[in-house]
Amino acid sequence: MYKYDFLGKAKIFSTLSLVLVLASVVILAVVGFRAGVEFTGGTQLTVTFSEKVAADELRSFLGQFSPPGVDLAATAILQETEIEGHPAFLITIPLNVEEHRKIIDRIQEQLRNKFPVLEISPTSVGKQVSEDLIRRTWQAILVAIFGMLVYISWRFRLSYAVGAVVALVHDVLIALGICALLGVEMSLPVIAALLTIVGYSLNDTIVIFDRVRENQKAMKKASLFDIINRSINQSLTRTINTSLTTLIPVAILLAFGGPVLRGFALVMLIGVIVGTYSTIFVANPIFYLWTNTAQKLRAKR
């Protein structure tokens, strides 16, 4: 007999998941992403100072270099941070090097003249490159999900694949919603974290599905409901241990990884938590519901 009736609580957690997914969709529609320079095109200046500089002072300074139709004081994104113990700012401006090289060079030159600058590290991405990156990003995510659907259908059955893919979409949508709510900049490391979430969540789900398949052979007289519950209970210790050992380095990376890795670490932290939850309370109920519905349809025929 199993210890916890996970599947019996499916309605409660399915409602919770539905609320979280709908809330994420609303947040994404209303708030939207704070896209990084890789996806918008533009220039990011990582400026390290020898002493603290006010953000308002930097905004006023940038406004002096605004080209026609662009107010840099209003559109520049300033993210205060620290680099090797020195105060610093990540300054993102919507000017790409293809059209505004002279203005970008003047900004860097005048920054050094007016402020106590130790170092400036520029990163520029052209508009064409950013559009290509957006297209390739969505292609990578869709191909990954489709590939997993095909593989799991072949390795197990379609009912298993549907449960796993619904859980993946659930995890990614919630992670994206939280990112939008917290104003996390969508950058290449964040996209890498989202793809890592897909793989991590799937790994836990497959472990339980494999146990379900083994138990179906060993417990031929038991109901699918009992088999799934037993399989989750048998895998619970492994699932918790895997999640905790993953969370520890991710939490350390979030605390000490610096501004470049902060987005990646935050998305990974969200993904590990949500992925562990969805493995138990989303993938398996969907698999159970799909299998039961399919059996009822076959019986009617």
For position 17, what pLDDT does the model report?
Answer: 92
Q: Which residue's entry shows tokens 């007999």? A: 1
Strand partners, 83: 86
Burial 152-163 (b: 16+ CB within 10 A, else e): bbeebbebbbbb
Model confidence pLDDT, tens digit, residues 108-167? 999 999 999 899 988 776 555 556 766 777 787 778 778 878 888 888 888 888 888 888
For position 78, what pLDDT does the model report?
Answer: 84
Both 20 and 75 in one domain: the answer is no
Q: What is the pLDDT confidence band of residue 18, given thresholds at 50, 70 and 90?
A: very high
Is 47:89 a contact under the CB 8 Å cutoff? yes
User: Which residue, 77, 102, 125, sits at the end of a domain?
Assistant: 125
CA distances 88 to 29, 64, 118, 189, Å, are 32, 21, 9, 20
Q: What is the pLDDT confidence band of residue 36, given thresholds at 50, 70 and 90?
A: low
User: Which residue, 125, 158, 174, sits at the end of a domain?
Assistant: 125
pTM value is 0.75
Phi-psi region of 42 (alpha: psi -120 to 50; beta: other; left: phi over 0): left
Q: Which of 65, 43, 56, 55 is nearest to 87 (CA)?
A: 55
Both 266 and 247 in one domain: the answer is yes
Both 97 and 136 in one domain: the answer is no
User: Which residue, 104, 125, 146, sits at the end of a domain?
Assistant: 125
Does residue 1 lie within any of the structural domains?
no
CATH no. for residue 101?
3.30.70.1710
Q: Which of 149, 196, 142 is nearest to 290 (CA)?
A: 149
pLDDT > 90 in the chain, percent: 10
DSSP 6: T
Model confidence pLDDT, tens digit, residues 42-88? 788 889 999 998 888 998 898 888 888 778 887 787 888 888 888 99
Strands 42-49, 77-83: pairing kind: unpaired
- Overall domain count for the chain: 2
User: Where do the DSSP E strands lie in 7-70?
Assistant: 34-35, 42-49
255: containing domain: 7-36+129-300
13-22, 95-104, 107-116, 267-276: segment of lowest average pLDDT? 95-104
Both 206 and 272 in one domain: the answer is yes
